Amino acid sequence: MKPEFKDRAPRVAELGGDDYFLNFDGEEIPSRAHYAHRRLRPSFNRADQDRFEIARADNFGPASQLKTMDVEGIDLAVMFPTRGLSVAGVIGADHALMNDAARAYNDWLAEFCQAGGGRLIGVGMLNLRDPEGAMDETRRCIDQLGFAGMFARPNALQQPFYDAVYDPLWALLSDLQTPVCFHEGNVVPLHQAGADRFTQHGMWHVCTHLMENQMAMVEFVLGGVLERHPRLKAGFLECGAGWLPNWMWRLDEADELDHQHDFPYLTMAPSEYIRRQCYVSADSDEDTAAFALEWLGGRHVIWGSDFPHDDGKYPHGLSMLRNLKGMTPEFAHKVLWDNPLDFYNAALKDLATEIPRTAA
């Protein structure tokens, strides 16, 4: 980070034993209020030493990333963070500090991907607390760093995502043909569904990743973002795919009941905006993924490996996905190749023409 922010940069601190958290400008992640959630399942903190031996030997660097991709059978990988999601999860009232943290993370990620021999491509961090700063960083990430998209957390901030203050950012992403990717993460000071209700990690985790993305989708669809920006693509990631058909029905039902009063600006059924502009990610062992693909005509679902988290299925993720009930070879090809190329911007398409295809 810049010299003026060095003493306020995110730092890893040890609580004792296997409990770790970030301290970012005085905000603790997980916060003291969420102390119970620090008691994660042992494999989460241990990172399954045997299963991830290749990655641990290289400190999870780009060389081991390529080796593990070869083991799994992956040609290209779009890179999302773990700790970077925690950095993006603070309340963060200081826009200059948050913008510089995003810039520093994006610079680090670009360097990481440059060591990937053309097989790794980044997705840049957005600081949505400062839409103007987010626009500047978006231009830099796409024009200079060659990223495939931009990511943010789905958690609520001061203004909802359909507030007019964000429209210039959504318009810029549309003009750059670059998607906004919402990705939930571990316990942070921002509000998270379930975190104020449950103390067991398992109860909280089953709620927050799905429900925060569902609510972000409500804001984009029923809030009119996709109506105003018909070329903007939005991804709701690491929350599964099987829920989407039901959610499309619920949003249509809401519009049918309250269109005149709440959503008079919508010119299509909510499900049609989703079919036109939204994507979700399927997990390797998600039995309902093929159901969602059938509902969506094979489109709008991509695969997330969740590597190297303990609930990812490395090194058997791809084989598990292909063997799901109802996962035809045609569906698998779309999830693993066609749909990601449709979703991410031209940077991924350019790499896809240069890399020999093996996995897909």
- As a whole number of angstroms, the distance between CA 263 and CA 48 comes to 48
What integer pLDDT is reported at residue 83 of this predicted model? 84
- As a whole number of angstroms, the distance between CA 113 and CA 115 comes to 5
Q: How many CB atoms lie within 10 A of CB 64?
A: 18
Q: In sequence order, what E strands does 69-119 have?
A: 77-79
What integer pLDDT is reported at residue 202 of this predicted model? 82
Average pLDDT of span 299-306: 96
Is residue 36 over pLDDT 80? no
SS3 323: coil
SS3 180: strand
Report yes or no: 300 and 273 within 8 Å, Cβ to Cβ: no
Reported as type and span, the H/E element at residue 203 is: helix 201-221
Q: How many CB atoms lie within 10 A of CB 354?
A: 9
Average pLDDT of span 326-355: 94
- Map out the domains of the chain as residue ranges: 3-352
131 Cβ neighbours under 8 A, 6+ residues apart? 165, 166, 168, 169
Model pLDDT for residues 188-220, shown as the tens digit of each residue:
888 889 888 887 878 888 899 999 999 999 999
Q: Which range has the top average pLDDT, 84-98, 166-180, 202-216, 345-359?
A: 166-180
Is residue 37 over pLDDT 60? no
Instruction: Report DSSP state, residue 9.
Output: S
- As a whole number of angstroms, the distance between CA 82 and CA 84 comes to 5
Average pLDDT of span 264-271: 98
Q: Which CATH class is domain 3-352?
A: alpha beta
Q: Which of 246, 323, 334, 314 is nearest to 287 (CA)?
A: 323
Reported as type and span, the H/E element at residue 22 is: strand 19-24
